[in-house]
Amino acid sequence: MDNTDEVLLLDDDPAMLVFLEGILTGAGYPCRTETNPEAALSHVASRREIGLVLSDVCMPGLSGLQFIDRLHALPLDRPAPRVLLLTGHPSLEAAIDALRLGAQDFLLKPIRPPELIEAIARALSRSRADRAPDPTKPPEIRLLVKQAEELAGRLRSMAYQSDFRGARVSEASPPALPRANKSSVAPRREQDGPALFSVLDTIEHLRRLRDRYADHQLDEVDWDLLLELLRAERLHQRLSVSALTVSSTAASATTSLRRLNKLVSRGYVVRIPDASDARRDFVSLTPKSNDLLGDYLTRANSHLRELVA
């Protein structure tokens, strides 16, 4: 075991932390405990040694699922630690949400020590793989994704911080938002405010930008799957077939699975058998889809730069 790996234990129950820490330190895993999710995020930001977070799901202030979302939003110069979720109140909805957010696994209380140690070992192994350089992934596309995320964040800030001149109305009568369609963007109205219009215009522009790639014969579901897989790979996460298909917001899991199989047959995605579980396949982008998404992001970044300049 790599002695630089550290496991961050997050639970609002101190007794549970003592129990978990005792098991893991006894198995040779360095641990750090925290009862406050915000403080746990600070630990991750400041300590490169943390390779894994074991978090409770139900906590006051910030749930385990919200913690994962916040964790992946941290401006780290390295892949975010893997996350294992631990709960005594399992539900299918929570498990699906955990997969969509990139959780490594969903563990149930009470958990037996051997099961916990096995899950920790498996997650840390994948965490180390995340941190290892991957020569098969072009650095240019990772940079483009990062730039697009940063520019989109600045655009959102513009929308929230704008005073929306002329749009101050009573809470009982919120201003109507301009509607956009595939062929045109709704004309700007004075009361909409510049930043609000920019956000809506950008959403529509990025959709219409995909029309440039009509020869690829990809619809909204296909784009949704490819971009979600790109997002996961940007975060150094490995998505299974099931995790990717339930992540799509554009279609049902059954439809998404059919579209994923089509993307595989057309060479945009490759399925990789899980060596530790014969029932599961992981999915990865191919050079063909990396080229497509890289070109799309280059054009999208150019448009976003014009808006936030």
Question: Which residue in 99, 104, 9 sits closest to 59, CA to CA?
Answer: 9
Strands 277-285 and 239-240: antiparallel
DSSP strand E in 188-292: where?
239-240, 269-274, 277-285
Indicate the class that CATH gives domain 6-131: alpha beta
Q: What is the pTM of this model?
A: 0.48
Tokens for 256, please give them: 């998404």
| pLDDT band, very low/low/confident/very high, at 164 (cuts 50, 70, 90) | very low
More confident residue, 177 or 30: 30
The C-alpha atoms of residue 60 and residue 11 are separated, in whole angstroms, by 10
What are the angstrom distances between the C-alpha of 178 and each of 162, 181, 263?
Answer: 17, 10, 34
In tens, the pLDDT along 196-238 reads 445 556 666 777 788 888 888 998 889 888 888 888 777 667 7
Fill in the amino acid letter for 219.
Answer: D
Mean pLDDT computed over 271-283? 83
The C-alpha atoms of residue 282 and residue 232 are separated, in whole angstroms, by 12
In tens, the pLDDT along 137-148 reads 555 565 565 555
DSSP strand E in 66-149: where?
82-87, 105-108
In tens, the pLDDT along 50-81 reads 999 999 988 888 888 888 888 888 888 888 89
Provide the 10 A C-beta neighbour count for residue 90.
14
Contact 9, 51 (CB under 8 A): no
To which H or E segment does residue 50 belong?
strand 50-56
User: What is residue 1's predicted lDDT score, i.e. its pLDDT?
Assistant: 43
The C-alpha atoms of residue 249 and residue 174 are separated, in whole angstroms, by 27
Highest mean pLDDT pick, 36-40, 125-129, 141-145, 304-308: 36-40
The C-alpha atoms of residue 49 and residue 78 are separated, in whole angstroms, by 11
Residue 35, CA atoms < 13 Å, CB-side half-sphere: 7
Same fold, 6-131 and 142-163+197-308: no
CATH topology of domain 142-163+197-308: Arc Repressor Mutant, subunit A (1.10.10)
Contact 100, 63 (CB under 8 A): no
In tens, the pLDDT along 87-133 reads 877 665 666 666 666 676 778 888 889 999 998 998 888 888 777 76
Strands 239-240 and 82-87: unpaired
More confident residue, 172 or 15: 15
The C-alpha atoms of residue 126 and residue 185 are separated, in whole angstroms, by 45
Domain definitions of the chain by residue range: 6-131, 142-163+197-308
